Amino acid sequence: MNAHPEELFDAVVAELRSEPGVTLGTGFGQSPGLRVGEKIFAMLVGGEFVAKLPRERCEELVGDNAAVPLRIGKREMREWVQLTLHDERRWIELAREALAFVGGSSRS
């Protein structure tokens, strides 16, 4: 199935929206994003799924060619990766990892 990125992100939102503290809003700029508390943990940027993960996990995904570091202008954003595949299951899995990472300190 060749779903559009917006449809895939909608599936991520549907999966995680009921988690405690998770809200739908914007990511960077006007990009649609998911937040836990006030912190962004996943977003759709230019049709690509982006997640905030621990640096080691980001390096692992980049090393496996599953993601590339997120760059905004010339700046590489630490702890942010852009996935290279449009796969709903993978997006949801990594969004859950990102939620646990970003929301970990504010969740019990």
- Look at residue 108 and tell me if it is in a domain: no
User: Which residue segment(s) compose the domain that 39 sits in?
Assistant: 5-103
CATH number of the domain enclosing 75: 3.90.1150
- The whole-number pLDDT of residue 8 equals 95
- The whole-number pLDDT of residue 41 equals 97
- The whole-number pLDDT of residue 19 equals 95
- The whole-number pLDDT of residue 28 equals 86
Number of domains in the chain: 1
What is the pLDDT tens value at each position of the chain, 108 positions in all?
567 999 999 999 999 999 999 999 998 888 899 999 899 999 999 999 999 999 999 999 999 999 999 998 899 998 999 998 899 999 999 999 999 999 985 433
Report how far apart, in Å, the C-alpha atoms of 92 and of each of 34, 57, 74, 83 are: 12, 16, 28, 12
- Look at residue 79 and tell me if it is in a domain: yes
DSSP string, 36-82: ETTEEEEEEETTEEEEE--HHHHHHHHHTTSEEEEEETTEEEEEEEE
The total number of residues shown for the chain amounts to 108
